[in-house]
């Protein structure tokens, strides 16, 4: 009887957190900080919004990066390019990495706390089983790194899937952040070049990023098949 009550209480807590994440948090942010959404249609407006906080601009930027990872309401590329535009390249990279790290921790534990039913509300059953199977395989950590490295694959929602997988959060955080590095460097460099009015180099980096993302989308099925092959090989060696 006590176990049944505990399960009901846990289910209720999960439901409350689920509603808070899906409905309340975005609604509160929209009503109290509507500019948080309207100002992010350009790097310049984003920079103006962040700099309006003066000495608090750095923690505000990190919070925005955390929100981007957890809720994915803001395009990550805009946040990262804006970081390079506002700060020095090294400082921008560190701030983005800090925000991504904290955001991934939140998303990982939200997925772990709310479980598979929560994650299934945002991703199809087949895709959920596919990604969970990849992360739970013997080569799961290698695959995790590759998923974050390959352009064109939604990165932030993988944090929630990792939360319901068998992955150790320490290794997940290290590998996912390492996988993010090339893309983050490109975005930050682009923002820095824009800030220096070096538009030709910025356009070249943008073009390379677009081509990489395009190829990632075009060959996504083949890449997934290759990852599945890696998983099956690992399983056959057990």
- 195 CB contacts (<8 Å, ≥6 apart)? 84, 85, 86
Is residue 180 a part of any domain in this protein? yes
Does any domain span residue 219? yes
> DSSP state, 157?
T
Phi, psi values for residue 167, rounded to 5° = -70, 145
| Residue 22 placed within a domain | no
Contact, 131 vs 161, CB < 8 A? yes
Residues 74 and 77: their CA atoms lie apart, in Å, by: 9
Two tokens, residue 2: 């006590």
- 54 sits in the region (left: phi over 0; alpha: psi -120 to 50; else beta) called left
In this structure, is residue 21 part of a structural domain?
Answer: no
Q: Count structural domains, the chain.
A: 1
1 falls within a domain:
no
* DSSP state letters, 49-61: HHHTTGGGHHHHH
- The sign one gets for the Cα dihedral 36, 193, 216, 218 is positive
Residue 19 domain-assigned (yes or no): no
Domain range holding 150? Answer: 33-113+125-236
Within-domain flag for 161: yes
220-236 and 140-149 helices cross at what angle (nearest 10)? 170
Residue 26 included in any domain:
no
pTM of the prediction?
0.75
Write out the chain's pLDDT in tens, 238 residues. Answer: 566 666 656 656 666 666 565 556 556 555 555 555 555 556 677 778 888 888 889 999 998 899 888 876 566 777 888 888 888 889 999 999 999 999 999 999 988 888 887 788 777 888 888 888 888 888 888 888 888 888 767 777 889 999 999 999 999 999 999 989 888 888 888 888 887 777 677 677 767 766 766 665 565 566 656 666 665 665 556 5
């Amino acid at each position: 009887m006590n176990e049944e009550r505990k399960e009901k209480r846990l289910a209720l807590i999960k439901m409350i957190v689920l509603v808070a994440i899906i409905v309340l948090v975005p609604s509160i942010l929209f009503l109290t900080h509507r500019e948080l959404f309207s100002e992010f249609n350009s790097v310049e407006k984003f920079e103006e919004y962040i700099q309006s906080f003066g000495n608090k601009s750095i923690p505000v930027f990190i919070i925005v990066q955390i929100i981007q990872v957890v809720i994915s309401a803001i395009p990550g590329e805009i946040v990262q390019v804006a970081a390079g535009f506002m700060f020095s390249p090294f400082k921008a990279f560190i701030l983005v990495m800090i925000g991504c790290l904290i955001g991934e921790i939140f998303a990982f534990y939200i997925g772990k706390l709310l479980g598979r039913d929560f994650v299934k509300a945002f991703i199809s059953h087949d895709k959920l089983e596919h990604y969970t199977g990849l992360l739970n395989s013997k080569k799961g950590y290698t695959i995790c790194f590759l998923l974050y490295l390959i352009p064109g694959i939604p990165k932030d929602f993988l944090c929630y899937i990792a939360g319901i997988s068998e992955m150790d959060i320490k290794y997940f955080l290290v590998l996912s952040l390492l996988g993010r590095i090339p893309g983050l460097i490109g975005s930050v460099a682009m923002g820095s070049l824009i800030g220096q009015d070096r538009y030709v180099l910025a356009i070249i980096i943008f073009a390379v990023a677009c081509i990489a993302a395009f190829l990632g989308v075009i060959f996504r099925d083949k890449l997934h098949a290759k990852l599945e092959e890696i998983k099956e090989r690992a399983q056959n060696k057990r």
